[in-house]
Structure 1
Amino acid sequence: MLDDKGNLFIIDAVLIVGLLLFAFIVFNQAIFMPDSYYSSEIKDSKNAQDVMESLSGKINFTDKTFLGDISAILKDGKNSKESINKVCELSKDKLSSFNLKNYRFSETNMLDDKVLASSGEYSDADNVSVAIRTYGDYSYTLSVW
């Protein structure tokens, strides 16, 4: 029995290709790793860094930054109560624009860890993200939970 037309060869080739495709699919499923979905906790952990970047970034394409402005107010006022109160008001207004539920913004170097603005109870916080930036002699810490 001779196969002059090559029908058996074509059927044999299709079966081999099908078998290789099946083996590839089985192998691919065996090594497949599901995508990792980030929880809201991971998203929240970046909030402090994101907000602090905004505070230390340029305002309206000028050379001024928010941290630079409040540092200048404190330095010019020689860390007086009036200058600290003014910075506290500015900080509360600025941080309220970021719609943060719970935060604490403080200066940790020149003002001995003075809280400039806060919202929420820090002692109840269980997952706190922290960002620190220094401007001149002043070191600012933002905690978000």
Structure 2
Amino acid sequence: MDDKGLIFTIDAALALIPIFIVLTTIASLGDDYLTFSSQQIRISHDAQDTLETMATYKQGTDSICVLQNITETLMINKNNATGRTLAGTIASKYLNSTIRDAKYNLTEIKQLNTTIASNANMASANNTAVGVRNFGDYTFRLYIWN
């Protein structure tokens, strides 16, 4: 090998060192943003799981699930204030017994665009998880936070 080839090879190898340093620095900075605590992951699953159980869980001796009971109550009362209150009572009873350690806000976003049941003010929520479930002509959105 001649002297020119050796110099170009050493020059290229030395030029790669700053590139590796920059890439390593960038990779180490991004780790904090990609990791989630187990609590954050759990609460994000709880919102959707709760809505799914509301769509399948049958209360007591009734042969209808919780969301069906809520939607039928709203339809029978033509989405009026009485229907929303009764639906909120049904939802609160189930949610209070199911997610005891978290705050929640259940809203209907397709027909009513209003809160049906809530046990806290969402303005103070820091880490909010959301689940969405359609049932009949209604779309429910459940927010859960600590």
The sequence identity of aligned pairs, in percent, is 26
CA RMSD of aligned residues (A): 2.3
| Pair 1:100–1:50, CA change in 2 (3 A) | farther
Say which structure is richer in helix. Answer: 2
Q: CA deviation at 1:121?
A: 2.5
- With over 3 angstroms needed to count, the CA separation of the structure-2 counterparts of 1:96 and 1:77, relative to structure 1, is same
Give a deviation string over 1:64-99, Cα, whole Å, max 9, x none: 211111101111111122111111111111110011
Is 1:134 aligned to residue 106 of structure 2?
no
Q: Contact between 2:73 and 2:83, CA under 8 Å: does it hold in 1? A: yes
TM-score, normalised relative to structure 1: 0.67
Instruction: Give yes or no for contact 2:66–2:90 (8 Å, CA) kept in 1.
Output: no
Partner of 1:65: 65
- Give the partner amino acid of 1:74: L
Q: Tell me which amino acid in the other structure corresponds to 1:77.
A: N
In structure 1, the residue matched to 2:79 is 79
Match of 1:144, SS state, is strand
1:109 aligned partner: 110
5+ unaligned residues in a row in structure 2: which ranges? Answer: 1-34
The amino acid that maps onto 1:44 is I
Give the 3-state SS of the residue equivalent to 1:97 in structure 2: helix
CA distance in 1, matches of 2:37, 2:123: 26
Aligned to 1:96: 96
Report how many aligned residue pairs link the two structures: 109
Distance 1:58 1:92 in 2: 15
Structure 2 equivalent of residue 39 of structure 1: 38
Larger Rg: 1
Secondary structure class of the residue paired with 1:59: coil
Task: Normalising by structure 2, report the TM-score.
Answer: 0.67
Q: Deviations over 1:87-125 (max 9, x none)?
A: 1111111110011421100111111x2111112231122
Contact 1:101 1:119 (8 Å CA) reproduced? no
**AA in 2 matched with 1:107:** E
1:40-60 deviation digits (Å, cap 9, x = unpaired): 221122110111111011416
Q: Any stretches of 5+ residues in structure 1 without a counterpart?
A: 1-35
